């Protein structure tokens, strides 16, 4: 199935991408891909090291005639988001991604594709291996765990890199040059509750919310897509107020950086109300479909009778939990007053798990203003503490402050205009790129991020545009040629 991808142009780059996708590489489980990259660098006979965090650095001298150019860093992250459709039978720990070509797009069969950030990694590998591509001396920096904490970038020490300009290949629109990004912090609320066994004369049911579009919790948050955790909570509170249902369990969402696409809850309902539950679910599904017809056209709410009895939440705690989740901020919190159309601060209510006396609520809070990021995190903390939750902040990382006057920004924006007869969009983004973190230990380094068109990142709908990769590739190669000469 992946053979068709290997025949695409530029062939060397697509073959490296296919090789990467044969290696499982989930965040925090990058051992196999780290070893793959170490062996790759050594096979090329280039200086190859792994730092204490697990980041891989491969150094390559300048090509002939480029020796006087400023040394640079080419950087992408090794890990990818592992997501699959509910009806897809796939083991990410054992299987390589099954890719296919669909017109002008490369997709995966029911899973995330890994174009984020595999295209960037494959691009750097191609330059490392090439004997014909013109380039200055460079450090190839392959970081780990970008998607779930950026711990690779956070733990990269100073003094390991020789480059003075960093090209980050992790942007998802081929007409954009990104020069700033949001920081983030993980907010986790946990606690326990006293459960009881379901009383007699009840029906036991499973409610499923599926078919949402999902997507990247930073780049796609402005699109107003449905959040399965919020939708499920809305259904459960309405069902409690109407029928007095009790909840046995809730299992919604998966990763902090993915907008939740699915949620499942098991409930009990008094027998006298059973006949009314089906029409109620149908009615609320119709209501939700009307609200979400543009953003989530495949939204589905289903009801299935299952076996009982079940352990259920006591009603006193249940109503507190439902109202707490209703109150928790989700989506855009504030738009930037300084940069047009930029989301400044947001929250993704990414994971809700309630089962067997324990609950966990996970969020990813983002902002390009660090003080506002923590203000929203504290707002969430206050909300969760109202039900007695223990709240932790972890994995906080800084944003990347834009420097529009940097020399590399002018070089690349002028080059884009020259090549494509239109101006590039020079902007900041609401995703968490590693540049801001890397800049803490390399404060004088100029940085910019760019890449091809990738859609549906962090969801099984992820795809990368073939013609856009070809456009990006030509721009990337010409950029390498335009790196200025060193003044020293």
Distance CA 119, CA 74 (A): 13
DSSP type of residue 84: B
**Active-site residue (options: 30, 145, 146, 461):** 146
Give the chain's count of helices (H) and strands (E): 12, 23
Distance CA 488, CA 482 (A): 18
The structure tokens listed for 176 are 């954009």
**Active-site residue (options: 79, 147, 176, 446):** 79
Contact 205, 303 (CB under 8 A): yes
Distance CA 237, CA 267 (A): 12
Residue appearing with tokens 């204490």: 52
Q: Is 251 a catalytic residue?
A: no
Distance CA 211, CA 228 (A): 9
Contact 358, 388 (CB under 8 A): no
Contact 58, 140 (CB under 8 A): yes
> At 449, is the secondary structure helix, strand, or coil?
strand
Cis peptide upstream of residue 10 (ω within 30 degrees of 0): yes
| Cross-strand partners of 139 | 59, 73
Distance CA 488, CA 484 (A): 12
Longest dimension (CA), the chain: 84
Report DSSP letters for 92-130, one per residue. TTT----EEEETTEEEESSB---HHHHHHHHHHHHHHH-
Count of all residues that appear for the chain in the document: 488
Contact 209, 231 (CB under 8 A): yes
Q: Is 422 a catalytic residue?
A: no
The residues carrying an active-site annotation are 79, 146
């Amino acid at each position: 199935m992946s053979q068709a991808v290997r025949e695409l142009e530029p062939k060397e780059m697509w073959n490296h991408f296919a090789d990467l996708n044969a290696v499982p590489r989930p965040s925090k489980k990058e051992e196999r891909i780290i070893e793959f990259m170490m062996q790759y660098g050594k096979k090329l006979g280039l200086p190859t090291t792994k730092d204490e965090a697990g980041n891989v650095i491969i150094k390559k001298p300048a090509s002939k005639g480029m020796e006087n150019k400023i040394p640079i860093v080419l950087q992408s992250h090794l890990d990818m988001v592992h997501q699959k459709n509910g009806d897809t039978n796939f083991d990410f720990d054992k299987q390589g991604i099954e890719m296919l070509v669909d017109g002008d797009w490369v997709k995966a069969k029911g899973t995330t594709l890994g174009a984020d950030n595999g295209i960037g990694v494959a691009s750097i590998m191609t330059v490392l291996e090439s004997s014909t591509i013109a380039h200055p001396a460079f450090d190839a920096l392959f970081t780990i765990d970008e998607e779930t904490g950026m711990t690779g970038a956070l733990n990269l020490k100073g003094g390991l890199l020789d480059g003075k300009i960093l090209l980050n290949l992790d942007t998802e629109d081929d007409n954009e040059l990104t020069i700033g990004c949001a920081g983030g912090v993980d907010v986790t609320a946990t606690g326990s509750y006293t459960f009881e066994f379901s009383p007699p004369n009840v029906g036991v049911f499973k409610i499923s919310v599926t078919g949402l579009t999902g997507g990247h919790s930073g780049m796609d948050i402005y699109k107003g897509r449905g959040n399965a955790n919020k939708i499920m909570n809305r259904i459960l509170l309405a069902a409690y107020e109407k029928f007095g249902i009790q909840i046995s369990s809730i299992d919604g969402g998966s990763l902090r950086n993915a907008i939740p696409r699915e949620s499942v809850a098991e409930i009990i309902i008094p027998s006298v109300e059973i006949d009314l539950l089906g029409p109620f679910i149908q009615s609320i599904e119709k209501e939700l479909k009307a609200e979400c017809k543009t953003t989530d056209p495949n939204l589905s709410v289903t009801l299935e009778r299952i076996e009982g009895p079940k352990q259920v939440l006591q009603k006193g705690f249940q109503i507190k939990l439902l109202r707490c989740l209703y109150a928790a901020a989700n989506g855009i919190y504030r738009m930037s007053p300084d940069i047009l159309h930029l989301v400044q601060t947001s929250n993704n209510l990414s994971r809700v798990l309630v089962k067997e006396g324990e609950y966990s609520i996970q969020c990813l809070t983002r902002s390009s203003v660090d003080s506002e990021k923590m203000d929203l995190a504290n707002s969430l903390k206050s909300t969760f503490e109202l039900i007695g939750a223990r709240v932790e902040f972890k994995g906080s990382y800084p944003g990347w402050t834009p420097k529009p006057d940097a020399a590399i920004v002018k070089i690349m924006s002028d080059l884009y205009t020259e090549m494509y007869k239109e101006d590039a969009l020079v902007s900041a983004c609401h995703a968490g790129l590693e540049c801001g973190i890397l800049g803490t230990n390399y404060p004088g380094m100029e940085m910019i991020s760019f890449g091809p068109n990738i859609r549906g990142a962090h969801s099984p709908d992820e795809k990368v545009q073939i013609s856009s990769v070809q456009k990006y590739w030509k721009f990337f190669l010409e950029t390498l040629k335009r790196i200025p000469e060193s003044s020293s």
